[in-house]
Each structure stands twice: as C-alpha cells, then as structure tokens.
C-alpha cells in the first residue's frame, strides 16, 4: 500500500491507533524504514544492464563496505571499460567507420549533479572523466577534443583504444562498408548501472563506445542525461541500452523516472517507456531497446523490445542475471 493511501485510509476511524506505530517505524532514518504493511527497503543494491557479473560484483563490494552509490557505480562500470572482450564499452570498443574509437559516458548523483563526456578518444575510462566534469567544472558535458584535453589536464593517460581484434573486424567490415545501425543481442553490451547505498541514496552511470562503425561524430543516448540515464533521489533511477536515437526521441530514462514518480513500479515504468518507443515506430520494430529501473524501495524492473535482454541485480539477497520481459515475444 502506498504511504499516501495508508494515511488516507487511516483517517477512517482508526487514525489514532495506526498513526503512532507508522511514525515510530519511520523515525530513525538510519534504520531500514518500513511503512506498515509494506516490505522493508532493500538496500544497498546495484542493478546493471546485461549479464555483467564482474561489474555488478565490484559495485556490490563498494556498497557492502559502506561505500556510497556514486563510487559504486563508477568503479562498477570501470570493470567493463577496461575489459577488451567487451567491444561496446571503453578499451577494445568497436570504432566508428573511420576507425576511431570514440566513447560516450555520463554519471549522476543523489543531488542531481551530473557530468558527461561525448565522442571522446584515447581515454580508457570515460566514466571517470565524466565524474571529473561533474565535480571539477561548472559544466555538465564536454565533447570531443575538449573532453580529451580536459582528461589530460586531470591526469588521465593517452591510450590507444583500438585493439587488434576490433581493428581486424573493422578492416573486414570496410570490404562492404554496409552501415546497418541495427542493434540486437549479438552486437551490443553498453553498461548502464544504478545503485542504492546503505544511506538509501541513489546514483547511476552509463558508458559505451556506441554503435559499431557509426558516422564520425555520432553521439547516442548513453551520455545524454535524461535519455541514457536519469536519477532522482526522491524517486529512483533508470538507464538504457540499444538504439540510442530512439531512446533520445522519448527522453527514455527521464520518462521512466517520472512514471515511477506517478506511482508505477519500475517494471511497469520500463514497459511504458518501451511502448512509447513502439508507438513512434509502428512500421519498424526490428531494433532493440532495453530499459532497467530501480525505485527508492530497492524494487527493480526491466523491459525491452526484442527477447534476449537481461539485467543483473546484486544485494544482500544474492545476485542474479534476470531475463527481461519483452514487447516482441519470440
Ligand atoms: C548508443 N545506446 O550509442 C548506445 C548503444 C548501446 O549496447 O546501447 N549498445 O546508441
């Protein structure tokens, strides 16, 4: 039962009796708050797109030691940025059609502070540069050469991000140069991560090398606050993976957080977010979008267009790779 409904009901003759235990149970903010008749808040907890066990385990390690959600999501997604086997994030990411690896990332904290880097080259951990943009500059986004220059000023080291494997595949792709920005289960692994720490505060991070062989200068949803990621510490957070252009068109993550504010569960909100995208693409649904969300109670959800999307959860209740429900069933 929602707290507001509970209070409404409690005025029907039993207010005096019921109000006291309710207020008492909420009086100590350090304790896990419970509202009469509701489950206790599940925290800390971390959730991320796809089956990124190592990334979610790293974030959980930070949270379990009492670390804050911002450090947890940064350190969690850094695992994927460093993993050259993941060709959609950071070092080892697939290049644009000119052979340049350009990275997008953003981060958002409990106070609504945020930072992003767009289309940045030669830096292995764009999420940490995004955090520096948030913490060390009066700005929210830095793009291209400016972002790279700022990273060097902050002590980041120039790194060639194009691995032999990604280079070989790009050389092969050039034989046809067929530009098919279709994203499905086989060719994308962007990581979006949301965490609630022991204080109940929420932060999120999202990082990607974007679409393989994209046009030079192309930026997707992942570094765009509101599209690829949004956090409101009063409500919850959401993040996305898939065809960024479609996520931007609906400002997907912001939409999902607002739907949760209106009372939808994370699951219902993600489903509605996907339905809005479907409504704009009535004749063409051969692409993938996956949304995940978490609310203030630690409830989680995910929804996607094509079957195959999964998301990881990690809390004291254990960890799991959860298959997401999808709009298209087979
Ligand atoms: C983008 N949303 O750049 C990203 C791509 C993605 O897994 O999610 N790939 O549009």
Q: Name the residue ranges covered by the structural domains of the chain.
A: 33-326
Of 211, 289, 324, best ligand 1 pocket probe by most atoms within 8 Å of the beta carbon: 211
Question: How many other C-beta atoms can be found within 10 angstroms of the C-beta atom of residue 66?
Answer: 10
What is the atom index within ligand 1 of the atom nearest the CA of 210?
3
Tally Cβ neighbours within 10 Å of residue 79.
Answer: 20
Q: Is residue 330 among the annotated active site residues? A: no
* Nearest residue to 205 via CA among 109, 306, 310: 109
Give the ligand 1 atom nearest the CA of 241. Answer: 8
Q: pTM to 2 decimals? A: 0.88
Using DSSP bridges, classify how beta strands 141-143 and 114-120 pair: parallel, antiparallel or unpaired. Answer: parallel
The per-residue pLDDT string of the chain (330 residues; one tens digit each, 9 = 90 and over) reads 333 332 223 323 333 222 222 322 333 333 344 445 567 789 999 999 999 999 999 999 999 999 999 999 999 999 999 999 999 999 999 999 999 999 999 999 999 999 999 999 999 999 999 999 999 999 999 999 999 999 999 999 999 999 999 999 999 999 988 776 555 555 568 999 999 999 999 999 999 999 999 999 999 999 999 999 999 999 999 999 999 999 999 999 999 999 999 999 999 999 999 999 999 998 888 889 999 999 999 999 999 999 999 999 999 999 999 999 999 998
DSSP three-state, residue 176: coil
CA distance 58 to 72: 7
Site to substitute for ligand 1 among 105, 117, 185, 220, most atoms within 8 A of C-beta: 220
Q: Which atom of ligand 1 lies nearest, measured to the CA of 242?
A: 8
Residues in the ligand 1 pocket, defined by CB under 6 Å: 88, 183, 188-190, 208, 210-211, 220-222, 241-244
Instruction: Mention the CATH class of domain 33-326.
Output: alpha beta
Distance 222 CA to ligand 1 centre (A): 6
Total H helices, total E strands in the chain: 10, 13
Q: Which ligand 1 atom sits nearest the alpha carbon of residue 218?
A: 3
User: How many Cβ atoms are within 10 Å of 284's Cβ, its own excluded?
Assistant: 7
Q: Where are the beta strands (DSSP E) in the chain?
A: 45-49, 103-108, 114-120, 141-143, 191-196, 202-208, 229-232, 236-242, 289-295, 300-304, 310-315, 318-323, 325-326
Distance 25 CA to ligand 1 centre (A): 43
Q: What share of the chain is helix, strand, coil (3-state, %, to 5)?
A: 35, 20, 45
Rg of the chain taking only CA atoms, in angstroms: 20
Q: Which of 49, 102, 190, 207 is catalytic?
A: 190
Given phi > 0 = left and psi -120 to 50 = alpha, else beta, which region is 290?
beta
């Amino acid at each position: 039962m929602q707290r507001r409904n509970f209070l409404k009901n409690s005025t029907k003759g039993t207010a005096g009796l019921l109000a006291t235990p309710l207020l008492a149970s909420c009086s100590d903010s350090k304790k896990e708050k419970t509202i009469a008749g509701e489950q206790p808040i599940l925290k800390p907890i971390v959730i991320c797109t796809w089956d990124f066990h190592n990334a979610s385990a790293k974030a959980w390690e930070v949270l379990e030691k009492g670390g804050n959600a911002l450090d947890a999501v940064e350190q969690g997604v850094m695992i994927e940025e460093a993993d050259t086997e993941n060709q959609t994030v950071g070092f080892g990411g697939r290049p644009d059609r000119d052979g340049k690896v350009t990275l997008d990332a953003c981060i958002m904290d409990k106070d609504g502070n945020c930072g992003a880097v767009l289309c940045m080259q030669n830096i292995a951990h764009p999420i940490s540069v995004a955090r520096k943009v948030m913490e060390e500059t009066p700005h929210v986004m830095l793009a291209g050469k400016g972002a790279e220059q700022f990273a060097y000023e902050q002590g980041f080291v120039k790194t060639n991000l194009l691995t032999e494997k990604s280079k070989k595949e790009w050389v092969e792709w050039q034989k046809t140069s067929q530009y098919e920005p279709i994203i499905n289960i086989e060719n994308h692994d962007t990581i979006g991560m949301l965490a609630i720490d022991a204080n109940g505060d929420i932060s999120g991070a999202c990082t990607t090398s974007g679409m393989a062989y994209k046009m030079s200068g192309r930026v997707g949803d992942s570094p765009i606050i509101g599209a690829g990621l949004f956090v409101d510490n009063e409500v919850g957070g959401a993040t996305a993976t898939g065809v960024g252009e479609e996520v931007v068109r609906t400002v997907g993550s912001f939409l999902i957080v607002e739907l949760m504010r209106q009372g939808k569960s994370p699951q219902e909100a993600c489903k509605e977010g996907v339905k809005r995208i479907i409504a704009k693409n009535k004749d063409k649904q051969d692409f993938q979008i996956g949304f995940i969300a978490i609310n203030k109670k630690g409830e989680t959800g995910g929804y996607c267009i094509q079957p195959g999307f999964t998301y990881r959860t990690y809390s004291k209740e254990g960890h799991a790779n959860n298959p997401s429900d999808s709009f298209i069933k087979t």
